[in-house]
């Protein structure tokens, strides 16, 4: 058996790279390759891990390595240090140790070769894993203390700079700070101005702007976001909530929290409005008064009527805009509208929204029209006739497969006859060309008959299941109160729906269904 080479970049490696010591993985690969040549080892594969995760669950290549080691696929694993294999908790360390021990897979490093069957090597290996974990904890505490000290001293320690700033190295110091990007700063000021003061209208009044209106205004003006994508309402809210713009920075605003759910550790990053804040070593874009005013306005806005996270749209994932192709989404009722509407998620699209309940009613009415339509398209056919057709097609498929296998055997034999000298090169090429053509014709015929067989099976299944499913849906739909169940019932018979509305309803005619629904059934296209 051959050997596996495992390469992983650590935090210390990144620091070394920043000092100009070269790319870590390339340097380690060269050293381990030289070691394998010196020891006469055959390298069967090289796994490179570019993530510096604390646990095995965050390292997909390490997971693959352990599975293959436990299956006994490798004689040994080459790695720069034992610490590269596991620096996680005792559970991870035990997993690694057991995998190598029970599969009797060797661990080869430039300093030492560990033989799991040797008692002393096993103890030394486990001791190294334990010490690597302690070292990791020590390094992590030191780094965290340094980060907290730098944060409280005003240095910017986050990975990327928010919109309106760029991250720059402070001359003469190790820390980073923020520098204002003038073009982006103008947009930040404009966002806070629209939110806190509104915009002067022709009649002399000021129109109040929320996150959705600000989003639409920026997209109408073609203001570029940092990602070059259209602005979203959530990004506007994040800007309005970010104290960086008034000169402060946050610590552990979205601290990672771990929970045990179903036997697995699940990580979440909830927002903490009461996290620690300090004055940063950078200039603010808006005044502190303006920022605080924005927070007061936001706190004074009414909460949505229904804050439940349960599904509230029975047409979720089904209705698409016929103009731009985007998924239609539910917009809850507000002070102007007393009902939820279905609207296109694209703020630049001119497709007009309609009440969600009205669209839902029209979908069910359209399904009622399907029953006589599809009964006409599918004339009565006895079960015996369908079975006879399928039997004939299955026999044809079996015969073609037999001929195809025989042709493949003949094709393989031509190579043997060439090697034995029975065929000269010209005879071999002619014979091979004939058999290749015959093989291609049989494969094409097999594909055609299998397609026809599958089409008939689909028709029979649709005939047997589709109409009864629609009839059951129409009978039971309005009796079901659970929105998720309604959505599941619709998805069972509908593939998707195209929605189009070009004219707004006249006053007093809000319940008029002046829109078009093109409903695509979830059945085979070739009936």
Q: What is the pLDDT of residues 283-320, one digit of tens each?
A: 999 999 999 988 888 877 654 444 445 678 899 889 99
Q: Roughly how many angstroms between the first and final C-alpha of the chain, as a whole number?
A: 55
Judge whether 275 lies within some domain: yes
**Residue-wise pLDDT tens digits, 326-384:** 888 888 765 455 678 888 878 788 899 888 999 999 999 988 887 766 665 555 554 44
Q: Check whether residue 138 and residue 208 sit in a common domain.
A: no
User: Residue 249 falls within a domain, yes or no?
Assistant: yes
Statement to judge: residues 170 and 145 lie in one domain: no
Among the listed residues 82, 91, 79, 80, the one whose alpha carbon sits nearest the alpha carbon of residue 55: 91
Total number of domains in the chain? 3
Q: Are residues 282 and 173 in the same domain?
A: yes
Sign of the dihedral through C-alpha 103, 104, 106, 112: positive
Out of 152, 185, 207, a domain closes at 152
């050293």: which residue's tokens? 31
- Per residue in 54-70, pLDDT (tens digit) is 677 778 888 888 889 88
CA dist., res. 258 & res. 269, Å (int):
9
Helix (H, G, I), strand (E, B) or coil at 202: coil
Looking at 202-253, which runs of residues are DSSP E strands? Answer: 206-207, 248-251
| Band of residue 213 on the pLDDT scale cut at 50, 70, 90 | confident
Cα separation, 129 vs 230, whole angstroms: 48
DSSP string, 384-401: HHHHHHHHHHHHHHHHHH
Same domain, 132 and 189: no
* CATH code, domain carrying 178: 3.90.1750.20
Please indicate, yes or no, if residue 370 is contained in any of the structural domains: no
> Do residues 101 and 194 share a domain?
no
Average pLDDT for 17-44: 80
What mean pLDDT value characterizes the chain? Answer: 80
Contact 244, 165 (CB under 8 A): yes
Residue 473 in domain: no
Q: How does strand 264-268 pair with strand 257-261?
A: antiparallel
Cβ neighbours of residue 307 closer than 8 Å, sequence gap 6 or more? none
Q: Which helix (H) or strand (E) holds 331?
A: strand 328-331
- Residue 159 falls within a domain, yes or no? no
Domain match, 135 and 172 both: no
pLDDT on residue 525 = 46
CB-CB contact of 446 with 400 (8 Å): yes
Last residue of a domain, one of 300, 316, 341: 300
Residue 199 parent element (H or E): strand 199-200
pLDDT band at 200 (very low <50, low <70, confident <90, very high): low
Cβ pair 180, 285 in contact under 8 A:
yes
Q: Are residues 25 and 140 both part of a single domain?
A: yes
pLDDT value at residue 187: 93
Residues 96 and 130 in one domain: yes
Confirm whether 34 is domain-assigned: yes
In the listed set 415, 436, 457, which residue is the last one of a domain according to the structure? 457
Q: Is residue 44 part of a domain?
A: yes
Shared domain for 131 and 216, answered yes or no, is no
Q: Is 282:247 a contact under the CB 8 Å cutoff?
A: yes
Domain that residue 444 falls in: 385-457
Q: Which residue has the higher pLDDT, 451 or 132?
A: 451
Q: What is the pLDDT of residue 114?
A: 84
Same-domain status, 19 and 144: yes
Clarify whether residues 122 and 7 are in a common domain.
yes
Give the closest residue to 362 by CA, choosing from 400, 416, 318. 318
Q: Say what the pLDDT of residue 464 is.
A: 67
Residues 284, 172 share a domain: yes
Let me know if residue 365 belongs to a domain: no
């Amino acid at each position: 058996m051959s050997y596996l080479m495992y390469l992983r970049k650590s935090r210390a490696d990144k620091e070394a790279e920043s000092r100009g010591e070269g790319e870590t993985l390339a340097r380690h690969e060269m050293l381990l390759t030289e070691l394998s040549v010196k020891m006469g080892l055959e390298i069967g594969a090289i796994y490179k891990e570019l993530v510096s995760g604390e646990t095995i669950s965050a390292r997909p290549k390490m997971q693959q390595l352990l599975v293959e080691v436990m299956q006994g696929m490798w004689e040994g694993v080459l790695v720069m240090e034992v610490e590269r294999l596991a620096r996680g908790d005792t559970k991870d360390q035990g997993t690694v140790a057991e995998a190598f021990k029970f599969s009797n897979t060797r661990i080869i490093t430039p300093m030492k070769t560990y033989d799991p069957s040797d008692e002393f090597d096993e103890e030394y290996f486990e001791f190294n894993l334990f010490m690597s974990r302690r070292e990791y904890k020590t390094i992590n505490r030191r780094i965290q203390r340094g980060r907290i000290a730098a944060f409280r001293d005003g240095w910017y320690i986050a990975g990327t700079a928010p919109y309106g700033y760029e991250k720059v190295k402070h001359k003469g110091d190790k820390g980073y700070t923020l520098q204002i990007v003038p073009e982006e700063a103008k947009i930040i000021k404009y966002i806070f101005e629209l939110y806190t003061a509104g915009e002067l209208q022709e009649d002399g009044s000021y129109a109040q702007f929320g996150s959705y209106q600000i989003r639409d205004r920026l997209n109408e003006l073609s203001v570029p976001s940092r990602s070059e994508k259209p602005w979203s309402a959530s990004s506007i809210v994040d800007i309005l909530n970010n104290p960086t713009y008034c000169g402060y920075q946050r610590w552990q605003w979205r601290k990672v929290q771990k929970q045990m759910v179903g036997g697995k550790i699940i990580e979440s990053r909830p927002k903490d409005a009461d996290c620690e804040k300090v004055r940063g070593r950078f200039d603010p874009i808006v005044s502190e008064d303006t920022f605080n005013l924005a927070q007061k306005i936001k706190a004074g806005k009414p909460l949505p009527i229904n804050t439940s996270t349960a599904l509230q749209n029975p047409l979720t994932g089904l209705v698409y805009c016929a103009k731009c192709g985007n998924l239609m989404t539910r917009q809850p009722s507000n002070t102007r509208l007393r009902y939820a509407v279905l609207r296109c998620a694209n703020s630049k699209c001119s497709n007009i929204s309609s009440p969600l309940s009205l669209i839902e009613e029209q979908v069910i009415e359209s399904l009622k029209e399907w029953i006589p339509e599809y009964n006409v398209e599918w004339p009565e056919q006895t079960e015996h006739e369908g079975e006879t057709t399928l039997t004939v097609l299955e026999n044809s498929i079996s015969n073609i497969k037999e001929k195809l296998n025989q042709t493949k055997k003949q094709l393989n034999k031509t190579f043997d006859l060439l090697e034995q000298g029975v065929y000269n090169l010209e005879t071999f090429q002619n014979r091979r060309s004939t058999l290749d053509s015959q093989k291609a014709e049989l494969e094409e015929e097999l594909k055609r008959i299998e397609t026809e067989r599958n089409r008939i099976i689909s028709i029979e299944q649709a005939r047997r299941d589709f109409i009864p499913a629609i009839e059951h849906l129409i009978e039971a739909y309005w009796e079901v109160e659970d929105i998720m169940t309604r959505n599941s019932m619709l998805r069972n018979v509908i593939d998707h729906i195209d929605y189009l509305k070009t004219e707004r309803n006249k006053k007093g005619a809000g319940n008029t269904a002046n829109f078009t629904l093109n409903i695509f059934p979830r059945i085979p296209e070739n009936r």
